[in-house]
Structure 1
Amino acid sequence: MTTHTPGRALRIGLAAVACAAFLGAVVTAPSAAAASATGASARGELLSVTPVGHLSRSEVVAAVASIPFDTAPVRHGVTGYRITYRTVDAAGRPTTASGLVELPDGGLPELRVISYGHGTQAYRGGVASMVAGNGDREAVEYFASAGYAAVAPDYLGLGTGPGTHPYMDTATEATAWIDMLRASRTLASRHGRRLDPGVLLTGFSQGGTAAMATGRALQNGADPYWKPAALAPVSGPYDVRRAEIPAMFLTGGMDPAEAAFYMGYWTVSMNRLHHLYDSPSEVFRAPYDTFVEGLYDGEHTEESIAAELPDSPAELLTPQYVRRLLHPTGALLAALRDNDTTCQWHPDVPVRLYAAEGDRDAVFANALHCRRQLRAHGADVPLVDVGDTDHVGSVIRAIPQVLDWFARQD
């Protein structure tokens, strides 16, 4: 439940995003019948590949400088591919998802992997596999330009994935992420590259919690090949119940307009999975109860959603629902408990948390709570305060530090 002023993945003052041009035809996998005949139909099976662009080293420098990231680590040109692959939905049923893979130029036969999870996106076309210019693709290009294979899942229901996005559902974030890693291994092999099984996991905001969930799943043996090598999540909403929700209704806490955007998205998404209400009027005030659910269908941009919402969660939500959020029970409590657990484990690999005290989206208490939970499980994890900056400023400052720290884990 965090990431940006609605409409821009990294809240960067860039021009409106434009869809990336395809550089070549989609390369499709064998038909479903052929795949079944060969026994290839499985989670992580690569279904299609669409080149989304090649950047020379100087073009990468220009792209990442526009964010701005420190350009010193940029050493290679990069080529990006949007891939579609098999995965499962929240009920375990077969579905497909997409994501971005960026490979560095050069003759490196084996590559370490940095895998990046994006922050809140309500519009399916706003993810890194679909568009450049909003910061997410540039972050992936940045990692690849330093000599890594960079892998960025879109999660379910975004990019080319069917259906609606189960926002902040850490279980499906992890399954989609792991299956994306499997598919990226196939793609790399087609280009004569081998991917090292020790994956370096990072992510911003929603992607921070997703990175922690994915690292835990991999450590617990979710895949026979991929293992976590290090985790460096940035400004994640690790504790929605005890950090984010109280800050939404606290003067000087979360930014009110953004809190309304996030809570609208979270409530609609969680209702699809946990049935929080029978009628939207139980949780949303009039007139928002008549149209809020339709805003979060994956087809509306963040700007168009924000234009329809009020300036605070108190104006969006009914008093009864506010009381339920502050004192959850039943399905609402179950939804929170299911997802507020990404720091409740003992990582066997290095972990470093990044956050900013000035963040009014993923409030700093999230990182403090995460560190406390990890310590309770015996893991002494450092928390890096990147300084007096806002939510997006935290990732702009953190990404170069994450890359430097990852390089020292090799």
Structure 2
Amino acid sequence: MSRHRFTAALVAASAVAATAAPVAASTPPARGELLSARHLRTMTAAQARAWLASDGFDARSVRYGVDTYRLVYRTVDTRGRATTASGLLVLPRNGDHRLRTVSYTHGTMSYKPDAPSTSKDVWGQGSAVTYGAAGFATVAPDYLGLGEGPGVHPWKDVPSETTASVDMLRAARHFVPRKGRSLDRRVLVTGFSQGASSALGLARALQGGADPWFRLGAVAPISGGYDFRGAELPALLAGKLDPKLSVAYTSYLLTSWNRIHGGLYRTPGEVFRKPYAGRVEKYFDGTTPGQVMLKGLPGSLDKLLTRRGFALLRHPSGTFAAALRTDASVCGWTPRVPVRLYKIDKDEQAVTLNTDHCAADLRGRGVRVPVIDVGDTRYGGSRHLGSNVAGTAQVVRWFSGLGRS
């Protein structure tokens, strides 16, 4: 992503704990239980068109005004312990009582307030509003540790992104009857960048019966980093991706996965050079704005990583290798619904080979997978971010053409 948008695609908060704080309860709380719902804003169709267009989003699919809400709900953390999370719900201002349902999972961000339900800019909510204004009830989870969720965000952890997404759907289903409406049980699943893997994780879970009500309807992820070991890390180490953002992604990956899985390092100085070893974990604890983080990190991996840090990336082993296998497994299943993969050529952040490998995995399982190039689109100078804008415009048209359940 472009440097000025890392936090928008990679929320002010006080110091947060190193892991999501458990919710005290005498009996196990119900996952997806709605704890609070706050109305954020109302836009007419004309206002939604102008708002989206002000930041380069395609507003041609806008048919209705929207209401947006922040939901806070119960879920579980990376260790299965009770915690809470937040997310954005967008409802169209139309006459439909039963609303077709879209789940949109967002791209990488490291600063708590940048999450969809707490974002103040168009980027953070633009895709969700696009789907909502086209007539869909749109659910956009913040994931763990972002928005109003406690703790530190476990970046690139598909299992927790999946549980947070399933539970956000449940919370939305609890909420919409208050507005005299209901959600279609078939979910159309999409997401961008980090959220592309999250979308595949959610789709796999829904098809597998993770929720007794919701069913999978279709899947359309955009520009995912699906294969870090086989595609992303080799491109990053070869200098084929944006160097500054490669530094940011590497820092985020190592600090996050060491926190989640352990075994990557005992002290930051083992893998990060001075002076970055003393500050890098703070940059990704949710309290540091992205511009501050980017300014504080070096411009190249040579200045960031120690010899051991490079060896870890070049020859993954142990818990790191196991985590990479889990991350790549999002393409190792057999969808029984329509699937499309969206990409952009010459992606400077999520190398396009990620999508090629994912498509090959799915086709190897007998799944017909059209791979759609979104075209030469940029956002803030970034092709990667541009693929979200262009991909959202294309996915909403595809979803709109699919029949109801």
Matched, 1:263 2:250: yes
Q: Matches of 1:9 and 1:396 in 2, distance apart? A: 16
1:404 aligned to which of 397, 401, 405: 397
Q: 1:268-307, aligned counterparts within 5 Å? A: 268-275=255-262, 276-307=264-295
Matched, 1:133 2:131: no
| TM-score normalized by the length of structure 2 | 0.92
Q: Matches of 1:370 and 1:46 in 2, distance apart? A: 35
Aligned residue type for 2:348: R
Partner of 1:357: 345
1:64 aligned to which of 52, 55, 60: 52
Q: Matches of 2:352 and 2:39 in 1, distance apart? A: 38
Q: Matches of 1:86 and 1:109 in 2, distance apart? A: 26
Aligned residue type for 2:397: D
Q: Matches of 2:76 and 2:46 in 1, distance apart? A: 39
Q: Matches of 2:226 and 2:242 in 1, distance apart? A: 18
Is the Cα–Cα contact under 8 Å of residues 10 and 392 in structure 1 kept in the other structure?
no
> What is the Cα deviation at residue 107 of structure 1?
2.2
Matched, 1:149 2:168: no
Matched, 1:158 2:146: yes
1:181 aligned to which of 169, 172, 187: 169
Structure 2 runs not aligned, ≥5 long: 14-22, 378-382
> What is the Cα deviation at residue 44 of structure 1?
0.2
Q: 1:1-400, aligned counterparts within 5 Å? A: 3-5=1-3, 7-8=5-6, 41-251=29-239, 253-275=240-262, 276-389=264-377, 390-400=383-393
Q: Matches of 2:152 and 2:195 in 1, distance apart? A: 18
Q: Matches of 1:270 and 1:32 in 2, distance apart? A: 26
Per the alignment, do residues 141 and 18 of structure 1 end up closer, same or farther by CA in structure 2, a change over 3 Å counting? farther
Mean Cα displacement is larger for which, 111-120 or 130-139? 130-139
> What is the Cα deviation at residue 62 of structure 1?
0.6
SS at match of 1:135: helix
Q: Matches of 1:285 and 1:168 in 2, distance apart? A: 23
Aligned residue type for 2:367: A
Residue correspondences, number: 387
Q: Matches of 1:103 and 1:18 in 2, distance apart? A: 27
> What is the Cα deviation at residue 72 of structure 1?
1.9
Is the Cα–Cα contact under 8 Å of residues 56 and 389 in structure 2 kept in the other structure?
yes
Q: Matches of 1:375 and 1:175 in 2, distance apart? A: 26
Is the Cα–Cα contact under 8 Å of residues 7 and 110 in structure 2 kept in the other structure?
no
Per the alignment, do residues 18 and 325 of structure 1 end up closer, same or farther by CA in structure 2, a change over 3 Å counting? closer
Structure 1 runs not aligned, ≥5 long: 12-16, 20-30
Runs (4+) of structure 1 moved beyond 2 Å? 3-11
Aligned residue type for 1:99: G
Q: Matches of 1:147 and 1:373 in 2, distance apart? A: 33
Per the alignment, do residues 163 and 302 of structure 1 end up closer, same or farther by CA in structure 2, a change over 3 Å counting? same
Identity %: 45
SS at match of 1:155: coil
Is the Cα–Cα contact under 8 Å of residues 18 and 133 in structure 1 kept in the other structure?
no
| TM-score normalized by the length of structure 1 | 0.91
Q: Matches of 1:178 and 1:305 in 2, distance apart? A: 31
Is the Cα–Cα contact under 8 Å of residues 9 and 120 in structure 1 kept in the other structure?
yes
SS at match of 1:350: coil
SS at match of 2:100: strand
Is the Cα–Cα contact under 8 Å of residues 248 and 313 in structure 1 kept in the other structure?
no
Alignment RMSD: 1.9
Is the Cα–Cα contact under 8 Å of residues 346 and 374 in structure 1 kept in the other structure?
yes
Is the Cα–Cα contact under 8 Å of residues 18 and 132 in structure 1 kept in the other structure?
no
Q: Matches of 1:333 and 1:364 in 2, distance apart? A: 22
Q: Matches of 1:249 and 1:363 in 2, distance apart? A: 12
Is the Cα–Cα contact under 8 Å of residues 8 and 109 in structure 2 kept in the other structure?
no
Aligned residue type for 2:324: L
Q: Matches of 1:9 and 1:185 in 2, distance apart? A: 29
Is the Cα–Cα contact under 8 Å of residues 88 and 140 in structure 2 kept in the other structure?
yes
SS at match of 1:211: helix
